[in-house]
Amino acid sequence: MTPRWLSLKQAVCYSGLSPNTLRKYADEGVIQASRTVGNHRRFDRESIDEFYNRHEVDSLAIRKALGL
């Protein structure tokens, strides 16, 4: 099972989005993210799923198309 909070690398693999896009969406509040004590971002998997649901995009199909 995929953990709820994902590192940037995990979120890239999970979502199929680029690191810069994930950072931008987190800064804009489109995808929920928090920061660790070391100031690293953790992206909320459920927020990524909600993003795709809002935009009627199947993240699994995107991951398959990208070969992930």
pLDDT at 52: 83
* Cβ atoms within 10 Å, residue 31: 24
Domain that holds residue 52: 5-65
Tokens found for residue 56: 């009627």
pLDDT at 2: 72
pLDDT at 58: 62
Q: CA 38 to CA 15: how far, in whole Å? A: 23
pLDDT at 35: 96
pTM exceeds 0.85: no
pLDDT at 55: 72
Q: How many domains does the chain have?
A: 1
Name residues of the chain where pLDDT drops below 50.
none
Query: Residue 29's domain is classified under what CATH number?
Result: 1.10.1660.10
